A and B are shown apart, each in its own frame.
Chain A
């Protein structure tokens, strides 16, 4: 089981796992995949003043999936909300030494990010995807 050290480190103690801490702004949630498909990922991003101030994830998947989700949640913090629509998780494949057969997992992650973006785009309308968290 030869996982890269960077993957194992995030798999064993994944930063950003769980839920974002309470705070000001809007919490966007998005999810993609399913356990029957072998991969299911969900993200939460707190957006304040148009910027992502915190990200968190939950994942059912292989160690590469968990490590990639952790990295995505970390990388998006500090960016404009639009990054949820533009970020390409496939760009992490080399960094995580992802085998070619596993790269599809990154597309599931991308789907979950786009789901978060749609929640932002429809903020206030799609109650199931967006929740306002008052300070």
Chain B
């Protein structure tokens, strides 16, 4: 086993060299000096970098540049979308629909809104993690103003039927917010065809830098949300604060590369995932979590019977992988997502998320399968009968 084996691309991806170069060029040049909001020559140079990034991000998701608002990442974009849209539309209704398996950025935003008097319906997916559009339709009420669903679940990798849910929302008049942190750059995303009104994405999930992301707001259906921050007019007043020019240069190049490489990345990563999945599932007592086919190319989540989860992760500590959402890993609690799918606590606790990316290799996969097989066998042999 190698100490540098990385199988946690769903948590974060390495920065593409072209992205790093673009960022370094900005930092070293005049665009790195000026404030993008300033009107002098240095500000204009910075502003051009920002607007180029806006064009590139918009192209990745089929949007117009004017519909992109830059944020510090997908978590902030999710907060701005859910809380900002709900507060802005509170006169129209106070009911929100989401799922039990959303990322904490959405779930905690919903809980914050509940404290303000909003009502939230948390829909359960089926036992493979899929949320049927019909379930959303049945949950909508006259006062429903917002539906929030992740395109790709961050733990299971399951792909939700976003377009079908979007059509349901359009018929009803509710906005659809989609957390695309795991899907942007990994699946085709088209906000028009998929009837998406708000969409959050993050640079570091697609080979860009950490600390920068974007929120799409449909110009016709959701031109405004209530800002979370105050103190400046940047980003149409929706997200005040000086724009991080070099970070946005990185986000823009990452988005452009993701779009260019989508057709080649997806089949290559899928081939690796299929071998990884086959290797993991050939160990007796290992169960795949999430839908077998309706799943993104990059995530395999398995539960292991007969071993204790913390020891399993410790035995595999030379492989960078996750037991679920990296954002919730500190708690040590069994994954709420797997609990929702009906896994008992001790099984949910012995679950691992392997995630693959552009720089993964078949050698990484084979080494992971070998280490997993040996560790499970060793821990089971150690356990009392």
Taking Cβ atoms with an 8 Å cutoff, the residues of A that contact B are 1, 3, 8, 11, 14, 17-18, 31, 35-36, 38-42, 58-63, 65-66
Contacts and interface: CB of A to CB of B under 8 A. Distances in A.
Interface in B329-385: 344, 346, 349, 379, 381-385
Contacts of A18: 381
B381 to A, nearest CB: 8
Contacts of B381: 18
B311 interface: yes
Contact of A59 (B310, B315, B382): B382
A1 B382 contact: no
A66 B346 contact: no
B138 interface: no
A83 B39 CA distance: 82
A66 B311 contact: yes
Given A3-B314, A11-B311, A38-B308, A59 B349 contact: no
Q: Is the interface of B mostly helix, strand, loop or mixed?
A: helix
Nearest to A8: B314
A36 B381 CA distance: 18
13 contacts: A1-B317, A35-B346, A38-B308, A38-B349, A40-B383, A58-B382, A59-B382, A59-B384, A60-B308, A62-B308, A62-B311, A63-B314, A65-B308
Contacts of A35: 306, 308, 346, 383
A60 B317 contact: no
Contacts of A3: 314
A11 B379 CA distance: 10
B313 interface: yes
Interface in B196-217: none
B384 A38 contact: no
Nearest to B383: A60
B311 A61 contact: yes
A63 B310 contact: yes
Interface residues of B, number: 18
Given A38-B349, A60-B383, A61-B308, 20 more contacts: A11-B311, A11-B315, A17-B382, A18-B381, A35-B308, A35-B346, A36-B346, A38-B346, A40-B384, A42-B384, A58-B383, A59-B384, A60-B307, A60-B308, A60-B379, A62-B310, A62-B311, A63-B310, A63-B311, A63-B314
Contact of A60 (B313, B315, B344, B384): B384
A61 B314 CA distance: 11
Contacts of A38: 308, 346, 349
B384 A66 contact: no
A66 B310 contact: no
| A17, A35, A41, A63 interface centre (most CB from chain B within 10 Å) | A35
Contacts of B306: 35, 60
Nearest to A33: B384
Nearest to A102: B310
B194 to A, nearest CB: 39
A62 B383 CA distance: 11
A119 B317 CA distance: 39
A62 B317 CA distance: 13
B321 to A, nearest CB: 11
B311 to A, nearest CB: 6
A48 to B, nearest CB: 24
A42 B308 CA distance: 15
A8 B307 CA distance: 17
Contacts of B383: 35, 40, 58-60
B8 to A, nearest CB: 13
Contacts of A59: 382-384
A39 B308 CA distance: 8
A39 to B, nearest CB: 8
Interface in B291-309: 306-308
Contacts of B384: 31, 40-42, 58-60
A46 B275 CA distance: 47
A132 to B, nearest CB: 20
A1 B313 contact: yes
| A17, A60, A63 interface centre (most CB from chain B within 10 Å) | A60
